[in-house]
């Protein structure tokens, strides 16, 4: 999962009322608020993906458990299989927060924010996983040095290079979304009209790309994932201008309708004795709907009471946890379950806890010191006030 999947700081002020007037709308911007509930939702999506990777699929995790996860979790594995939809929820959240973070920023400031947020923890995760997999007693093979170096660019997928981190395919989707939003909205200057045109244009273009069957258009326009990003952008419009915005609601509704279609098409299959898990179409639609609904609840202020400080910490751990949990989780599961003999239902929460602890270390000693330095080096004219950052 990817969870860009990144997001700006948990202390998120809404745009000033004057910005709403400048956008040419009768709606007024809300006052400053802290979207801590969104931080909690990010971590929830990351834990969904982790549940899928640890107990909802086959592959290398079966080697770590010493058998199929379906045997380890005969009841829960069917639910864990839906955890992969945490990625779609990440994309909705990303649409919301990237629209928020790009509003009123210069192109350079926007790119500095995104690059400085994505890369420090990512570089460390790539090197850490490579180093652990290179240990002689670890059962998983590290990539060749050339492939590892290419992975540091985050462009390994379009270059056809093997991935160090399985979840980084979602970061490639995030990067394409950032590029589209930067060129179409941030560069000319964000206004309500431009954002609406961006959502409508991308929706139509993605549908045409799907019909054209042209690989290049699929890469650029991402028909399968576009509805989730666009839906998040529409939800930000509702957050900024209020719930009485029929155009924003239309963007969200169309995005949900198209998004559930792609989710069902990509994840549903007929029941089969050879398949590891079975996800019903109704279950997929339900998870997608809940994801949209939770982000909508945050956008409309329905979760203001979820304003606990620990949610800020939860949001801060999400991105590094997302990066390292899958591959390093294999190593930990194998050590705890096969090596130490712990039962599966003790190994699973302990593995998640250890990955969260590692995520905290990465946030404290990598992200917090390096993010402002990298941002300042890219955009030296803009003063950088160090903040605790959060990520998908």
pLDDT (0 to 100) of residue 28: 41
pLDDT (0 to 100) of residue 24: 37
Question: Is 383 a member of any domain?
Answer: no
Cβ–Cβ under 8 Å, residues 259 and 288: yes
Mean pLDDT of the chain: 89
Question: Is 386 a member of any domain?
Answer: no
pLDDT (0 to 100) of residue 337: 97
Question: Is 119 a member of any domain?
Answer: yes
Indicate the number of domains in the chain.
1
Compute and round to an integer the Cα radius of gyration of the chain: 21
Write the pLDDT tens digit of every residue in 234-292: 999 999 999 999 999 999 999 999 999 999 999 987 676 555 667 899 999 999 999 99
Among residues 349, 344, 346, the alpha carbon closest in space to that of 70 is found at: 344
Range of the domain at 187: 11-378
The angle, 0 to 180 degrees and rounded to 10, between the axes of the packed helices 344-362 and 310-333 is: 120
Q: Is the pLDDT of residue 320 over 90?
A: yes
Among residues 236, 182, 248, 196, the alpha carbon closest in space to that of 14 is found at: 236
Cβ–Cβ under 8 Å, residues 231 and 99: no
What is the pLDDT confidence band of residue 10, given thresholds at 50, 70 and 90? very low
Write the pLDDT tens digit of every residue in 335-384: 999 999 999 999 999 999 999 999 999 999 999 999 999 999 999 876 54
Question: Is 6 a member of any domain?
Answer: no
pLDDT (0 to 100) of residue 84: 96
Q: Give the span between the Cα atoms of 329 and 325, in whole angstroms.
A: 5
Question: Is 284 a member of any domain?
Answer: yes
Question: Is 387 a member of any domain?
Answer: no
Lowest mean pLDDT among 26-30, 55-59, 134-138, 289-293: 26-30
Question: Is 217 a member of any domain?
Answer: yes
Residues 6+ apart with CB under 8 A from 300: 238, 239, 243
């Amino acid at each position: 999962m990817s969870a860009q999947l990144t997001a700006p700081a948990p202390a998120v002020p809404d745009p000033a009322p004057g910005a709403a007037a400048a956008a040419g709308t009768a709606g007024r911007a809300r006052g400053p608020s802290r979207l801590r509930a969104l931080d909690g939702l990010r971590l929830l999506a990351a834990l969904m993906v982790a549940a899928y990777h640890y107990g909802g699929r086959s592959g290398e995790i079966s080697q770590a458990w010493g058998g199929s996860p379906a045997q380890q979790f005969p009841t829960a594995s069917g639910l864990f299989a839906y955890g992969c939809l945490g990625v779609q929820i990440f994309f909705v959240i990303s649409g919301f927060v990237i629209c928020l973070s790009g509003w009123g920023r210069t192109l350079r400031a926007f790119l500095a924010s995104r690059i400085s947020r994505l890369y420090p923890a990512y570089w460390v995760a790539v090197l850490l996983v490579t180093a652990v997999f290179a240990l002689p007693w670890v059962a998983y093979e590290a990539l060749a040095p050339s492939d590892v170096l290419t992975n540091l660019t985050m462009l390994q997928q379009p270059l056809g290079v093997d991935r160090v981190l399985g979840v980084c395919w979602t970061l490639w989707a995030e990067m394409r979304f950032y590029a589209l939003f930067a060129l179409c909205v941030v560069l000319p200057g964000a206004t309500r009209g431009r954002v609406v045109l961006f959502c409508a244009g991308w929706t139509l273009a993605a549908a045409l790309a799907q019909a054209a069957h042209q690989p290049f258009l699929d890469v650029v326009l991402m028909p399968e994932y576009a509805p989730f990003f666009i839906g998040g952008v529409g939800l930000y419009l509702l957050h900024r201008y209020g719930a009485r915005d029929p155009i924003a609601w239309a963007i969200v509704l169309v995005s949900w309708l198209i998004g559930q279609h792609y989710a069902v098409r990509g994840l549903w299959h007929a029941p089969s004795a050879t398949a590891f898990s079975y996800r019903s179409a109704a279950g997929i639609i339900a998870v997608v709907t809940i994801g949209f609904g939770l982000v909508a609840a945050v956008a409309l202020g329905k979760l203001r009471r979820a304003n606990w400080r620990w949610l800020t910490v939860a949001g801060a751990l999400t991105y590094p946890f997302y990066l390292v949990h899958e591959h390093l989780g294999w190593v930990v599961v194998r050590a705890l379950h096969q090596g130490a003999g712990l039962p599966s239902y003790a190994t699973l929460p302990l593995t998640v806890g250890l990955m969260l602890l590692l995520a905290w270390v990465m946030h404290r000693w990598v992200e917090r010191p390096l993010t402002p330095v990298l941002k300042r080096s890219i955009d030296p004219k803009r003063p950088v006030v160090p903040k605790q950052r959060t990520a998908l």
